[in-house]
Amino acid sequence: MRHLLVRWLMAAAGFGSGGSLAAQVALTIVNPGFEANTVTGPQAFDATITPTGWTTYDPTGVLGRDYSDVGVLKPGGTSLYAAGAPEGNNVAIVFLWPQTAADDNRPVGLQQTLAATLQAATRYTFSVQVGNIASDGSPNYSLSGFPGYRVELLAGSTLLAQDQNSVAPADGFFSPVAIEFTTGGSPAGQGEAITIRLLNLGVPNSGIEVNFDDVRLTATAIPEPGAAAAIAGLAGLGYAWRRRGARRRADARR
Ligand SMILES: [Ca+2]
């Protein structure tokens, strides 16, 4: 009886029959770990690939000039990342070189617009691994240092949340980044498609390449305070009914 009552109340409050009060849902990201493309050949990377499911973000036209490009890296067995990829075999590349003064401090990277749209009263958790590639000893360019990163969460053209350089991975390592963002009752961008951006900031004289892997976004519906209180109250009522029924059965056995 109690379960039926709670289920009915949750349905009435808009949580779906039998649904969880605050179920976390993983929103679909195409190719979230950059495993969809195969890196072949003698080198560990392919800078001719735009990872499947992703498009370039390059508002100032930096990519394609000189060697600046995006691609896919398979670091296993190299000294670039001695521990390999954080997820699967591959990671994404955003490589900006050479950096002329005209290219400095221009964010460039990858973005993906999801099928999911921004919902009211929902907590979003966006996480990604950010990598600082180790030097490969090339005399022509140096991968040492780190040009800075920013990851952004948008709905339509509304910037919801971002993380810029909150972690500083050492050369040859990835660091996890997570952003939490909770919408109110009628958020800006509500109903618009969610976009994720992964950017190399192109800070001059401080490294060339940023790598990304294991991109995730989850959504958790936050119950309206009134609905949650009603459910808690009626669940308590159901409990009381069950207790009363148990007492009656106990009395009957006497
Ligand atoms: Ca991967």
Chain centroid to CA 232: 32
C-alpha 100 to ligand 1 mean position (Å):
31
C-alpha 37 to ligand 1 mean position (Å):
10
Nearest Cα neighbor of 32 from 92, 118, 107 is: 92
pLDDT digits (tens, 9 = 90+) for 114-156: 999 999 999 999 999 999 999 988 878 889 999 999 999 999 9
- The topology (CATH level 3) of 22-222 is Jelly Rolls (2.60.120)
C-alpha 116 to ligand 1 mean position (Å):
22
- What is the distance between the alpha carbons of residues 234 and 35, in angstroms, rounded to a whole number? 48
- Kindly calculate the radius of gyration of the chain based on its CA atoms and give it in whole angstroms: 25
C-alpha 33 to ligand 1 mean position (Å):
4
Residue 110 has pLDDT above 90, yes or no: yes
**Which tokens is 1 given?**
């009886």
Percent with pLDDT over 70 in the chain: 80
Q: Please report, for the chain, the start and end positions of each structural domain, with discontinuous segments joined by +.
A: 1-21+224-243, 22-222
C-alpha 53 to ligand 1 mean position (Å):
14
C-alpha 215 to ligand 1 mean position (Å):
9
pLDDT digits (tens, 9 = 90+) for 191-249: 999 999 999 999 988 889 999 999 999 999 998 766 656 656 656 655 565 666 556 66
- pLDDT of res. 235: 60
State the pLDDT confidence band at 3, using cuts at 50, 70 and 90: low
- What is the distance between the alpha carbons of residues 251 and 245, in angstroms, rounded to a whole number? 10
Residues with CB under 5 A from ligand 1 (ion): 33-34, 85, 87-88, 90, 213
